[in-house]
Structure 1
Amino acid sequence: MFSHVMLGANDIDASKAFYDATLGALGVRPGRVDPKGRVIYMHDGAIFLLSKPIDGEPACHANGGTIGFAAASPDEADAWHAAGIANGGTAIEDAPGIRDGGFGKLYLAYLRDPAGNKICALHRVVE
């Protein structure tokens, strides 16, 4: 459904360190920096990028927006969450755990990245 996801970042180095750690906990290789200074992550056919805003204005987070990263297990989601906190992220919402909603049981862990973007790790619990 998506070709890619790109987030704005004011401090590319801090954001790269954060995403290298959190995505690394999900088995993703460290991002590479292209000639325009964007950080590119590629994994299982998905592309995730970080960039300073092209318009020169400060990057800001989307109020109400969330980007979810797939986790293979609750342990992987917990490792993602811990890596994020250790690398400049902020824990938000409830502690990582199972939520029972309209899509079945989900193991979710939420963070804000160094630029304030809301992200989560999601594992679908199979019963």
Structure 2
Amino acid sequence: MLTYAAVGSNDLEKAKAFYDALLGSVGVQKMFDHPSGGRIYGTPKSMFGVLGPYDGARATVGNGAMSGFGLETRAQVAAFYAKAMEMGGACEGPPGLRGPVAANAYFAYVRDLDGNKLCAYKFGPE
């Protein structure tokens, strides 16, 4: 099971403000600031980071790469999406049911300020 994901940024101050607000809107808090100038969020069992690339090169978006945040309610998925839009993120798919009815999968997709793709989701009934 995936327990850690990170994205790169070319403007860490803007990225930290974006993720402080976005993740804070669904109850995920800062753990510590990273030596790259970025920040780590979450708990020791589940973490997300926004970092400066280790090699010092420009951060780029991975084609097909995405980080997902499993949330407790559909309302949290909608709040995650709304906060991303409010903070200047881009829509990649508004909140809604996805896949076969039997999956009962509620997803929303956004891109952060650097173009990294994020997903918020909740499986099962509200």
TM-score, with structure 2 as normaliser: 0.88
Query: Per-residue deviation at 1:31?
Result: 5.3
Which SS does the other structure have where 2:10 is aligned? coil
Distance in 2 between the 1:44 and 1:80 partners?
22
RMSD: 2.1
Aligned length: 126
Query: Per-residue deviation at 1:61?
Result: 1.0
Flag structure 2 segments of 5+ consecutive residues without an equivalent. none
Percentage identity across aligned positions?
36
Which SS does the other structure have where 1:59 is aligned? coil
Which SS does the other structure have where 2:14 is aligned? helix
Q: 1:107 to 1:3 in 2, by over 3 A?
A: closer
Distance in 2 between the 1:96 and 1:124 partners?
13
Mapping 1:1-127, distance limit 5 Å: 1-30=1-30, 32-43=32-43, 45-93=45-93, 95-101=94-100, 104-126=103-125
Q: 1:61 to 1:126 in 2, by over 3 A?
A: same
Query: Per-residue deviation at 1:62?
Result: 1.0
Contact 2:36–2:54 at 8 Å: present in 1 too?
no
What amino acid is aligned across from residue 123 of structure 1 in structure 2? K
Contact 1:20–1:31 at 8 Å: present in 2 too?
no
Give runs of ≥4 in structure 1 deviating > 4 Å: none
